[in-house]
């Protein structure tokens, strides 16, 4: 392929600036026709006190020329650089003859070729590699020569020159032979890999099933425990309510008896007050006849008062709630044992089974 300014037949060296001796960057042309990097020519003129001179042909310019980009030259340089890199962007995937898409890299020639330009190298049985493979990866790092041999003793790639060194007594074969042998080994191991993959896939499926079973059983266990807690709380509440009801019943019965005793005593107190008032009136009477006329009735009243003094109230028995307290303590202990049973189940599930039989034994 030829650009507008350069013949690229067999020369792939990119042109360089005469000042910096590097590939042109922003090339500009002088009136004499020579081109330089824009920065290079500016620095060259700044370093000289004389008039502006062309560093190449030494033509002197009366005044500093107006520098313009050499468009055709810049395009040619860019094309050469792209071909050298293997295409725009340095992807190394372009044919180095036509800039088409590269199909293979010829190792002996160290050039990328498209399908069309690759045919002569295939006919010559040149070694071909994928375009992505870099040439430096195919060369011996010690001698810079193409890698052609493989040392079986230490598993290293080497060139012909390497055989005279530390590999002199090693078993060395051509890379093609080593490639074929290693390929056979991998082919022999491939079924084992497939079988291992199937085994692992089966185990993964089993783990997934066990995970789902664990989640379901855990959820069922939590629901069951919640139901047991509800029943236990219901049992405790009903038991406490029953004991409270019994206490209240006994309290009301005793209060009723005490009320009746109170009414009776209040009536007696009222009668006594009345008798006492009558006697006080009799004692105040000064006339003897009147006093004697009422003495019989007064004596009867005194006897009645004596009877009152002899009457003693029998106290009612004190209410004893120790039985209910004992029942409540037993209920608390029952729940404590039940909770300890659950705790042991959580800490040592292999030792305790919290099933219906255990629950029935706990409630006894």
pLDDT tens figures, 157-167: 888 888 777 77
**Does residue 340 form part of some domain?**
no
Looking at the fold, whether 108 and 159 belong to one and the same domain comes out as no
User: What is the rounded distance in angstroms from the CA atom of residue 17 to the CA atom of residue 23?
Assistant: 6
Exposed / middle / buried, residue 123 (Cβ in 10 Å: 0-12, 13-18, 19+)? exposed
Token pair of 17 as six digits: 């600036």
For the stretch 7-43, pLDDT in tens is 333 334 456 788 887 778 888 988 888 889 988 888 8
CATH number of the domain encompassing residue 120: 3.30.40.10
pLDDT at 242 over 80: yes
| 251 vs 333, residue with greater confidence | 251
**Does residue 22 form part of some domain?**
no
- Which residues, listed in sequence order, are joined to residue 29 by a DSSP beta bridge? 35, 68
Within 8 A by CB and 6+ apart from 27, the residues are 17, 35, 36, 37, 38, 69, 70, 73, 74, 77
User: What is the rounded distance in angstroms from the CA atom of residue 213 to the CA atom of residue 334?
Assistant: 33
Looking at the fold, whether 205 and 310 belong to one and the same domain comes out as yes
Q: Which of 279, 297, 319 is the last residue of a domain?
A: 319
Structure confidence at residue 131 (pLDDT): 78
Looking at the fold, whether 214 and 156 belong to one and the same domain comes out as no
**Does residue 114 form part of some domain?**
yes
**Does residue 245 form part of some domain?**
yes
Ramachandran area for residue 113 (φ above 0: left; ψ -120 to 50: alpha; else beta):
beta
Q: Which of 302, 319, 336 is the last residue of a domain?
A: 319
Looking at the fold, whether 159 and 63 belong to one and the same domain comes out as no
Q: How many CA atoms lie within 13 A of 297 on its CB side?
A: 9
Structure confidence at residue 107 (pLDDT): 75
Looking at the fold, whether 284 and 312 belong to one and the same domain comes out as yes
Structure confidence at residue 209 (pLDDT): 92
Token pair of 209 as six digits: 């099933």
**Does residue 15 form part of some domain?**
no
For the stretch 114-127, pLDDT in tens is 888 888 888 877 87
Looking at the fold, whether 245 and 283 belong to one and the same domain comes out as yes
Looking at the fold, whether 54 and 145 belong to one and the same domain comes out as no
**Does residue 202 form part of some domain?**
yes
Q: Which of 129, 160, 190 is the last residue of a domain?
A: 129
Domain that holds residue 230: 182-319
Residue 279: CB atoms within 10 A of its CB come to 13
For the stretch 313-326, pLDDT in tens is 667 777 777 777 77
Ramachandran area for residue 89 (φ above 0: left; ψ -120 to 50: alpha; else beta):
left
Residue 50: CB atoms within 10 A of its CB come to 7
Looking at the fold, whether 196 and 279 belong to one and the same domain comes out as yes
Looking at the fold, whether 148 and 119 belong to one and the same domain comes out as no
- Of the pLDDT bands very low, low, confident and very high (cuts 50, 70, 90), residue 346 is low
Strand spans (E) along the chain: 27-29, 35-37, 52-53, 60-61, 68-69, 104-106, 111-113, 128-129, 149-151, 156-158, 172-174
Number of domain units in the chain: 3
Q: Minimal CA–CA distance to 65: which of 83, 88, 42?
A: 42
Looking at the fold, whether 59 and 123 belong to one and the same domain comes out as yes
Tokens 């030259």, located at residue:
73
**Does residue 6 form part of some domain?**
no
**Does residue 45 form part of some domain?**
yes
């Amino acid at each position: 392929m030829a650009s507008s300014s350069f013949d690229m037949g067999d020369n792939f060296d990119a042109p360089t600036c005469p000042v910096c001796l590097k590939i042109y960057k922003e090339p500009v042309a002088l009136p004499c026709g020579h081109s330089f990097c824009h920065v290079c020519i500016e620095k060259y003129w700044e370093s000289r006190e004389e008039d502006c001179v062309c560093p190449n042909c030494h033509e002197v310019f009366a005044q500093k020329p107006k520098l313009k980009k050499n468009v055709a030259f810049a395009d040619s340089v860019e094309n050469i650089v792209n071909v050298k890199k293997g295409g725009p962007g340095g992807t190394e995937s372009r044919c180095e003859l036509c800039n088409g898409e590269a199909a293979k890299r010829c190792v002996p020639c160290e050039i990328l070729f498209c399908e069309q330009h690759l045919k002569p190298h295939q006919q010559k049985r040149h070694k071909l590699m994928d375009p992505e493979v870099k040439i430096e990866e195919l060369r011996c790092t010690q001698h810079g020569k193409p890698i052609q041999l493989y040392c079986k003793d230490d598993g290293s790639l080497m060139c012909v020159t390497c055989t005279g060194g530390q590999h002199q007594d090693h078993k060395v074969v051509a890379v093609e032979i080593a490639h074929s042998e290693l390929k056979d080994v991998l082919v022999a191991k491939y079924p084992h890999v497939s079988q291992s993959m199937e085994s692992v896939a089966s185990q993964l499926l089993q783990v997934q099933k066990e995970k789902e079973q664990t989640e379901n059983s855990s959820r069922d266990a939590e629901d069951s425990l919640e139901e047991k807690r509800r029943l236990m709380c219901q049992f405790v509440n009903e038991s406490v309510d029953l004991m409270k009801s019994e206490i209240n019943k006994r309290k009301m019965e005793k209060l009723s008896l005490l009320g009746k005793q109170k009414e009776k005593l209040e009536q007696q107190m009222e009668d006594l007050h009345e008798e006492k008032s009558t006697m006080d009136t009799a004692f105040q009477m000064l006339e003897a006849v009147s006093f004697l006329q009422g003495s019989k009735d007064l004596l009867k009243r005194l006897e009645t008062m004596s009877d009152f003094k002899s009457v003693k109230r029998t106290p009612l028995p004190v209410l004893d709630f120790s039985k209910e307290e004992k029942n409540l303590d037993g209920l608390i202990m029952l729940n404590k044992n039940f909770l300890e049973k659950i705790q042991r189940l959580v800490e040592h599930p292999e030792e305790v089974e919290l099933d219906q039989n255990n629950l029935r034994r706990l409630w006894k």
